Amino acid sequence: MKGTLARVAWVYVAIGMLLVPLFFLLGSSGRTVLSIAAAGVLLPAMLVAHRVHHLPVALITMFALIGVLYMLAEQFGGIESAGNHASPLSAMLSLAANVVMVSALAYAVSRRRGHFTWGDIVDGLMIALAGWMIAWITLVQPNLESTEHSRGEFLLNALYLPVILPMFVLAIALAMSGVIKRPATWLVVIAVLLSISGDAITAFFKFEMSSTSQSLAAACYLLAILFGGAALIHPSSADLMVFAPRSHRLQLTRRLLLTGASLALPMMLIALVAAPTALDRHVKALSALGILVLASIRIVEATRAHVRAQEHLVKAALTDSLTGLPNRSAILDRVIDSIASTGQGSGRPTLILFDIDRFKNINDSLGHQAGDEVLKHVSERLDAAARSIGAVVGRRSGDEFMVLDLYADTPEQALANAEFLHTVFKQPLSVAEGVVFLTASGGVATMPSSGSAQAEDLFRMADIAMYKAKDAGRDGLALYRDSMQQHLTARMEIENALYGALDRKELRMFHQPIVNLESGHVTGFESLMRWQRSDGTLLSPTEFIAIAEETGIISSIGSWAILEALNQLRSWIDGGLVSDTTTISVNVSPRQLTDPHFADSVTEALARARVSPGLLWLEVTESIMIAEPELARGALEQLRLAGVRISLDDFGTGYSSLSLLQQFPIHQIKIDRTFVSGIAESKHDESLVRTVIAMGDSLGLEVVAEGVETVQQLAALRRLGCLKAQGYLISHPVPAIAMRSTIAALDNFMAGPDVVRFSGGQPRVAIPVAGN
């Protein structure tokens, strides 16, 4: 359909181009018939534009009116009348058609630009009045004394120019609107320019119109009608009403040029052409006064528009567009003002930052529109609550809100106010998608009594406190303390140093033996990472692994740890220190399991170290299985297929759901030290451990007890049937260089009725190998 209509449109254009030569060959009656027929072809074009392209009825009506007025003008005036406008009625009908065309163009331009202001109307009137002055000076005034034609005819003829100029300006505006120019746009612009050309020829050569001039003007009108019809039929005419604004700078430049020209040209003509009569002087004076009045109105309107735009920009710069609350800049300004007035009767400025917990889940599950609705509801409730205590609410960004409390005298009062505001987030919210329940974490920072802090410092302190509340488990508040800053500074120092720790070879692997409680022999090791700083300080994993996890460094150091542990096991096996069935266990973080290349890196490490996959245990925690079950299942299944075995670490401290053991390829569970520590004294803990061991046996899983520290714990584990254990009683984690002496000590003393436990070669305590 679109292709057919496009071809028909170009047929209209081709017919028009072919008919132009006939205008110079046919007589006046023939030209009249062709002009009326051309106006008649607008009817099918308008039907297509309305029913197929769905152009507005108003625009179609104006096109129809233009065609009717042109046909009537030709009917009443004949081809000579259309050419030289000898008939006053024909001239008035043509002028009326031009006025309608101006209206149609203005309507199209307003739809394209999205608006049509009073300033545009004033500009149009100025241009029309400038055209009238040019027409008066060049066409009317020189012929006032003519006896061949009446003054009415001259005045009627002079009205063409005031209509032509706005039409020309609107055609240029339509051509410049939108980034992409469609064929229909160009066809309309060409049709308007052809009509303007015909009117210009008629206006300037009316009383000395030759046959050639008449034919040329009539040809311009004919082409204008056919080009207009082609524009209506062409499929791209649907874009004529599509909002497509151009650069405001371009619009301003064009407007200044046109307005300046409409002021300059008439004034130049007034200055250059003498005024021979009193009537001429009066007409020129009144016309110039009209232009100046319009220019003054335009200046006033432009000034008001500029003030409104400035006010809008200032408001937009200080207001959050979604909630209408003050933004960070606005709150910052108020904090600065409040700091400056501290000590003048008001309290100490307090800033409270709230962050909605897990807000991303709302956006991901319900959609961003629902998320925006939630933020609006929260902002309204929080603003109402804050007003009740004289505080000001702002939106910082995303799901974070700020509250500036100027009347809290003490940190305790500030915290109490924050607790009151915190209750706002606990109230259920109803959105289109259902009821939403929220929690939020908040940080409270009060201006120090010394007054030494600046506004940005208050924001920083509140931010630190807020993240402290999040780290504490969310849905809570934290009051800023100086120790938080010290902790954060130390953490940042560790984070920065950690980035280069691997390259500086500061990371070390320590190994803790795992013994078989029946044979007393070492059957495996758990490899644990340590960080030996350049100053000699040795950091445990609890001091830096969480930071490595957050920053993503864990991926690189985790891969290094697996390869290092496997290489060490290979060295021990090749050196005869342990048997070729000895295993090595390495802890794996959730971040590593979400890495799509993790399984490949493990198999590559096994190949490089020449270690059988069955000798590698990867220890995972329940948290990753709960948070990202699909990712965890996929990664663990890949590892299982590669022959690597999976151990569930710290079993019993989390959800400890039996479904985890069913859904995931788990081969071993490690009883957490919290249960082992009370096994000798607590019947409850003993029952729990017995249950875990029995469950592991029934599921075919190995069971390892962690954190064995006393003889009584070890005896209880043997009695309950636990076959493997590790802990400080057996051995602390030791560096690889100390492992030979550690194993030798363990083997020597486990051969007798009592076993002496060595740590780094130093005797600590005797433990029995029997169950009693």
Residue with tokens 């081709």: 14
User: Does 762 score more than 70 pLDDT?
Assistant: no
What average pLDDT does the segment 66-80 reach? Answer: 67
Q: Which residue has the higher pLDDT, 155 or 614?
A: 614
Give the C-alpha distances (Å, rounded to integers) separating 115 from 110, 112, 581: 5, 8, 82
What is the model's pLDDT at position 587?
Answer: 95
Question: How does residue 514 score in pLDDT terms, banded at 50, 70 and 90?
Answer: very high
- The letter for the amino acid at 477 is L
What is the model's pLDDT at position 720?
Answer: 93
The SS3 assignment for 766 reads strand
What is the model's pLDDT at position 105?
Answer: 79
* Residue 260 CB-density burial (10 A; 0-12 exposed, 13-18 middle, 19+ buried): exposed
What is the model's pLDDT at position 767?
Answer: 38
Which among 240, 445, 447, 418 has a CA at the least distance from the CA of 343? 447
Give the C-alpha distances (Å, rounded to integers) separating 389 from 55, 272, 417, 427: 56, 73, 8, 19
pLDDT per position as a tens digit, 665-717: 999 999 989 889 989 888 888 998 999 999 999 989 999 999 999 888 988 99
User: Does 136 score more than 50 pLDDT?
Assistant: yes
Cβ atoms < 10 Å from Cβ of 143: 16
- The letter for the amino acid at 454 is Q
What is the model's pLDDT at position 397?
Answer: 86
Burial 356-375 (b: 16+ CB within 10 A, else e): bbebeebbeebeeebbebbb
What is the model's pLDDT at position 602?
Answer: 96
- The letter for the amino acid at 714 is L
pLDDT per position as a tens digit, 223-270: 888 888 888 888 887 777 666 555 444 455 656 666 666 677 777 777
Enumerate residues 6+ apart whose C-beta is below 8 A from 524. Answer: 513, 514, 582, 583, 584, 585, 617, 724
Question: How does residue 578 score in pLDDT terms, banded at 50, 70 and 90?
Answer: very high
| Mean pLDDT for all residues in the chain | 81
Q: Which residue has the higher pLDDT, 660 or 366?
A: 366
Question: How does residue 115 score in pLDDT terms, banded at 50, 70 and 90?
Answer: low
What is the model's pLDDT at position 176?
Answer: 61
Q: Supply the Cα-derived Rg of the chain in whole angstroms.
A: 44
Q: Where is average pLDDT lowest: 246-250, 283-287, 427-431, 602-606?
A: 246-250
What is the model's pLDDT at position 255?
Answer: 60
Question: How does residue 310 score in pLDDT terms, banded at 50, 70 and 90?
Answer: confident
Cβ atoms < 10 Å from Cβ of 658: 10
- The letter for the amino acid at 140 is V
What is the model's pLDDT at position 22?
Answer: 72
* Alpha carbons 70 and 73: distance in angstroms, whole number: 5
Which among 601, 609, 602, 604 has a CA at the least distance from the CA of 570? 609
Residue 40, token pair as written in the block: 């008649």
What average pLDDT does the segment 607-628 reach? Answer: 89
What is the model's pLDDT at position 244?
Answer: 59
What is the model's pLDDT at position 651?
Answer: 81
* Alpha carbons 742 and 577: distance in angstroms, whole number: 11
User: Does 179 score more than 50 pLDDT?
Assistant: no
What is the model's pLDDT at position 81?
Answer: 42
Q: Which residue has the higher pLDDT, 524 or 15?
A: 524
